[in-house]
Structure 1
Amino acid sequence: MPIVELHVLEGYGPEDKRRLGEALTDAVRFVVPAPPEAITVMIHEMPTEDYYRGRTQRSGAPALPDPKELVHSYLAAMEARDLPAATAMLGEGFVMQFPGAAPMTELQELIDWAAPRYRFVTKTYEGFDAMQSEGAPALVYCRGTLAGEWPHGTAFEGIRFIDRFEVNGGKITRQDVWNDIAEVKGKA
């Protein structure tokens, strides 16, 4: 039964601690073949007045937003065509790549590119997966199916998709999209 002890400065809320506990449990499971209920995570808080680094009393950094929740909120804003809300979630140097398209850096480019391809698209999510590697952005994959309407008004559904996002500093900096829309449209 693995036991992980973590010391954090006080000030992190219950949601931040829940996310830490889940992330540490998942990290242990990458190496140790243990079910989640066999892994114990203990989080100890340290008062900030007891923390020094470089002879200076310091405070902890605020928790980053959950990258899965950030991506889900972004996708919801895009589906609602709330471009200002979606744009607010994007970081400097944002780029997105869709099948058969040149890289795009502005959300309006995507809207314009998609206009002759379909009237609208909605997503049904099967899951979101997030991971972090040393020195790299957080990665979020979401997967599921697309439904919508072709330009001539015929409905479609059940088209597989996977989106990959890079999240740096709580902002989305890259989106890569893979889906079967061209294959299904070719048969429509």
Structure 2
Amino acid sequence: MRKPSTKTSNGNIFPLTESWYKTKKTFYAHMWRSKMPMIECTLIKGYAEKTRKLLAERVTDAASSTIGAHPDQVIVTIKEVLATNYMRGRVNRKPAAAPIEPEFIVREYLSAMEKRDLETAKQYLSDDFTMVFPGGASFKKIEDLISWSGKRYRNVKKSFENFDTSFKGLNATVFCNGYLEGTWLNGEIFSKIRFIDRFSVSDMKITSQNVWNDMGERLR
């Protein structure tokens, strides 16, 4: 009987000896002891490289936070199959369009609001969008927010230090923090006012915004 063999990257064939099997067994045993998970994902061929990279990063983060493995120990591979070789419910499928990143949606919304381009800003909001600002001021329409803020300052601009996104199924929560700068109603310039915003994003639309900042401390 012909002995099992394998092919190297340069095309050479060598037999799989007992020593080879022992080496492989030792390797997997080491992976198990050192919490080195191997995770394989299968995708229909057609997703962009950026999307595949993002998937691998998120799978790595999920494994690290769940089982305590260091990211350097998490191995993620992505196998692609042709649409003709993929069937679900007796129907060949095509890759679905990857959703817009929640952080991008939030950044674009905040940019539009800063420019007072309200029509563009509204494109990123869900029909049931709500927002809550310091002091419990709650709004459903950004026009009402503009009217309320106009009694506090002439203009304001955000400089960002961090964006952090977490996911639960198809829903995402985006936090951003940094500093506010702008002009008070009396013409005085303000800066270095801390803020943190929390956005809920679902189906590529912002459903809520909660705002905390130190502006009230400066107004006293």
Normalising by the residue count of structure 1, what TM-score does the alignment of the two structures yield? 0.91
Residue 55 (1) aligns with residue 90 (2):
yes
Task: Give distance in 2, aligned partners of 1:159 and 1:32.
Answer: 39
Q: Deviations over 1:75-126 (max 9, x none)?
A: 1111121212211111221111111244212211111110010111111111
In structure 1, the residue matched to 2:62 is 27
Task: Give distance in 2, aligned partners of 1:37 and 1:129.
Answer: 21
- Shift, 1:51, TM fit: 1.8
Which amino acid in the other structure matches residue 54 of structure 2?
R
- Shift, 1:172, TM fit: 0.9
- Aligned identity (percent) is 42
Which amino acid in the other structure matches residue 138 of structure 2?
P
Larger-Rg structure: 2
Task: Give distance in 1, aligned partners of 2:99 and 2:219.
Answer: 40
Task: Give distance in 2, aligned partners of 1:95 and 1:165.
Answer: 10
- Shift, 1:27, TM fit: 1.2
Residue 2 (1) aligns with residue 37 (2):
yes
Task: Give distance in 2, aligned partners of 1:105 and 1:10.
Answer: 42
**Secondary structure in 2 aligned to 1:94?**
strand
**Secondary structure in 2 aligned to 1:77?**
helix
Query: Bigger CA drift: 161-170 or 34-43?
Result: 34-43
Residue 137 (1) aligns with residue 137 (2):
no
Structure 1's consecutive aligned runs of 4 or more residues displaced over 6 angstroms after TM superposition are none
**Secondary structure in 2 aligned to 1:132?**
strand
Cα separation, partners in 2 of 1:28 and 1:3, compared to 1, 3 Å: same
Q: Any stretches of 5+ residues in structure 1 without a counterpart? A: none
Task: Give distance in 1, aligned partners of 2:107 and 2:77.
Answer: 29
Task: Give distance in 1, aligned partners of 2:194 and 2:130.
Answer: 22
RMSD: 1.6
Give the one of 119, 123, 126 matched to 2:158. 123
Give the one of 143, 168, 177 matched to 2:202. 168
Which amino acid in the other structure matches residue 109 of structure 2?
Y
Which amino acid in the other structure matches residue 166 of structure 1?
S
Query: Bigger CA drift: 114-123 or 100-109?
Result: 100-109
Total equivalences in the alignment: 185
Alignment of 1:1-188 (within 5 A): 1-134=36-169, 137-186=171-220
In structure 1, the residue matched to 2:3 is none
Task: Give distance in 1, aligned partners of 2:147 and 2:74.
Answer: 49
Task: Give distance in 1, aligned partners of 2:137 and 2:192.
Answer: 25
**Secondary structure in 2 aligned to 1:61?**
coil
Q: Any stretches of 5+ residues in structure 2 without a counterpart? A: 1-35
Task: Give distance in 2, aligned partners of 1:13 and 1:57.
Answer: 20
Higher relative contact order (CA 8 A, sep 6+): 1
